[in-house]
Structure 1
Amino acid sequence: MRFTVDRLDHIVLTVRDRDVSASWYQRVLGMDIEEYGRNNRVSLNFGGQKINLRPESSEGWQTAEGAQPGTSDLCFTTAIESAHIIQHLEKCGVRVVEGPTSRIGALGPLTSVYCHDPDGNLVEIASYKG
């Protein structure tokens, strides 16, 4: 029997400081912070997805072997054009490391702007509008 998956539900990011990372994603990308489960776990919710923040060296989590802060590349999409993304990042004190630049996303051509989160993960903010 063969199956396919429907969508990405959540990912887990290993972070150095859960509160610093949660605050950054809320302030810069507008995600909602939610505490849940045992040990006051934290997730960042947006759209129909979430990011769980796993502090490095945490016990009781199943995670990828060798998971380390700053080893992920993430791409988020928005309806905002790249010029406005750059203005927002600059207003938040976040340095743009590349962009706007043309890329190919899951739904076709898009325009991307790149920055880093507090752990050094590469964060791509992309728009299908340009």
Structure 2
Amino acid sequence: MISHIDHIVLTVSDIENAVAFYEKVLEMEAITFAEGRRAVRFGEQKINFQLLGQELRNHAMEGSGDICLITHWSLEKLVAHLQACEVTIIEGPVAKSGATGPIQSVYFNDPDNNLIEVSVLETETTLDPRIEEQ
């Protein structure tokens, strides 16, 4: 029935600050849509940003997001980039189990404390028993 995720919405305290962070740290494309709303786009997906109370049907609080993104970069390049952007890594690299198989993940928070996991797909075809289930 479901083929993919089109977008997710994160509740933030400052939309332009969030856009700038995702644009710089995650190299996403900043966009404006639907009457001036702001988002960042990557591939065929996007992350929309909203202020607390802006969308009455969404009751998410600032910092309640927890997303996992896949990168085509190596772990070494990812970690070096995060360090260059002065992003504090709170966990990782660590082995995890992703939607399509084993991944190596690095965790950090965005400016609103949403948990961001950026992962590299492993090339192995079998799951390592040491990989934690999410």
**TM-score in same-fold range (> 0.5):** yes
The whole-number CA distance in structure 1 between the counterparts of 2:97 and 2:56 is: 32
The whole-number CA distance in structure 1 between the counterparts of 2:56 and 2:98 is: 29
The whole-number CA distance in structure 2 between the counterparts of 1:21 and 1:30 is: 12
Q: Which residue of 2 aligns with 1:100?
A: 93
Sequence identity (%): 36
Match of 2:57 among 59, 63, 72: 63
String of CA shifts for 1:85-130, please: whole Å, max 9, x gaps: 1110000010000000000001100100000000001100000148
Q: Which residue of 2 aligns with 1:34?
A: 31
Q: Which residue of 2 aligns with 1:14?
A: 11
Q: Which residue of 2 aligns with 1:75?
A: 68
| Contact 1:79 1:129 survives alignment (8 Å) | no
**Structure 1 residue runs without a partner (length 5+):** none
Q: Tell me the TM-score normalised to structure 1 length.
A: 0.90
Tell me how far 1:57 sits from its aligned partner: 2.7
Q: Which letter maps to 1:53?
A: F
Tell me how far 1:62 sits from its aligned partner: 4.7
String of CA shifts for 1:20-77, please: whole Å, max 9, x gaps: 0000000000111111112x1001100000011011232xx35333x11101111000
The whole-number CA distance in structure 2 between the counterparts of 1:6 and 1:57 is: 30
Q: Tell me the TM-score normalised to structure 2 length.
A: 0.87
- Aligned residues between the structures: 123
Q: Which residue of 2 aligns with 1:46?
A: 42
